Amino acid sequence: MASSTSNNFSSSSRHELPNISTKLRVLEEKLQREGIEPVIPVNVNLTVGRSTRTRPRPGHISGGSCSPSRASSAPPTRKGTNFQLPLSPLSVQPYTSEDIRAKYLEVIKNSGLLYINEVQQRVDLKDLRHLCDLGHGSCGQVFKMEHIQTKYVLAVKVMHRTSSDEENKRIIMDVDVITKSYDCPYIIRCLGYFINTSDVWICMELMAYCFEKLLKLINQPIPESVLGKLTFTTVTALNYLKETHGVMHRDVKPSNILIDSNGNIKLCDFGICGVLIESMAKSRNAGCAGYMSPERIEPPDPTRPDYDIRADVWSLGITLIELGTNKYPYVDCKNEFDVMSRIVTEEPPELPTNSIQFSADFRSFIKLCLIKDYKQRPKYKQLMVSNEY
């Protein structure tokens, strides 16, 4: 669930393989029964485990404000938790040491306030019991924990505070974005957080798997119908971040897209979100090299190395190919430099031409995401009104 996530699978996880495969097939069959063909277009109302409606045909605009054919600046809202944090709006200026310290003082006021079973209450760290490790990465570790009194189970990301401004800025960004995104149903829900002198604990709803781990467990391609839902939820979440909070994710990859036992898919990990200044991000050294777009690795104009949300569109395209084929497209590379060299010098990857498991719409959508010239690559809203969406 973080950059360079490395999941350690227990023997019990491996015993879950048959159950996981069964659930995935059930999810695929349910989508098809509801009229969702195994192609990229999916309806905004498609939520497995909840009431759903059949999606309109590609290009058709359905009635109502929830039409997927209209690029909305924000997705349908959910009954979420507005923490009403005393955080100031995201600044268009880079954080300074004083900014970071000031924000810590602001957010610490709500430290320890958690929503357990939809009820906000004051919770102490000793009230949580560790159940198992879920994963770890460069920004910290994620644990499965239980609120002892209520038996409520949640996921907790623990990030260590350091003297590094860059690391502290990352922690602040993660807390800032996830707590402000309570009204987006396609972003992991924050239940509250703890801040002490050495750590920051972000408490979140528990999901079943990230797609990186799911792919390793089932060791087979993810069905296109499921990838259609993943595409809709991810693009909607990314568009929400841009339109509502003025940030781009910058780390779209399988380990940062989660699925729960009901088939709900959500985006997570906002530690390296970039604040957009005039719709452009400034920092180049953020994110996983294997999913970076060509313009981030080698800017067309070195004197202006800025990039925009279309870099995340490229990352989504690489993610879809990997999940749809059970194979990362840039294989046999010795190191990150080799990967980045191939991204810059080679033609964009494509789905296998000899496979009949992919629809024409799915192939076309991925080609849109992986247009090498970022000026020709569509942004979120263009994707959302395309016939392939």
> Which residues are known to be catalytic?
251
Q: Which two tokens stand for residue 298?
A: 């080698």
- What is the spatial distance between Cα 156 and Cα 135, in angstroms, rounded to a whole number? 11
Confirm if 165 and 119 have CB atoms less than 8 A apart: no
Q: What residue has token string 């392939």?
A: 388
Place of tokens 């970071």: 100
- Sequential DSSP letters for 204-263: E---SEEHHHHHHHH-SPPPHHHHHHHHHHHHHHHHHHHHHHSEE----SGGGEEE-TT-
Kindly write down the DSSP assignment for every residue of 255-266, as one continuous string. Answer: GGEEE-TT--EE
Q: What is the spatial distance between Cα 377 and Cα 313, in angstroms, rounded to a whole number?
A: 8
Query: Distance between CA atoms of 43 and 52, rounded to whole angstroms?
Result: 9
47 neighbors 66 (Cβ within 8 angstroms): no
41: which 2 tokens? 């277009």
Pair 75, 184: CB distance under 8 Å: yes
Three-state DSSP class for residue 22: helix
What is the C-alpha to C-alpha distance for residues 159 and 324, in angstroms, rounded to an integer? Answer: 32
Pair of tokens at residue 106: 């602001």
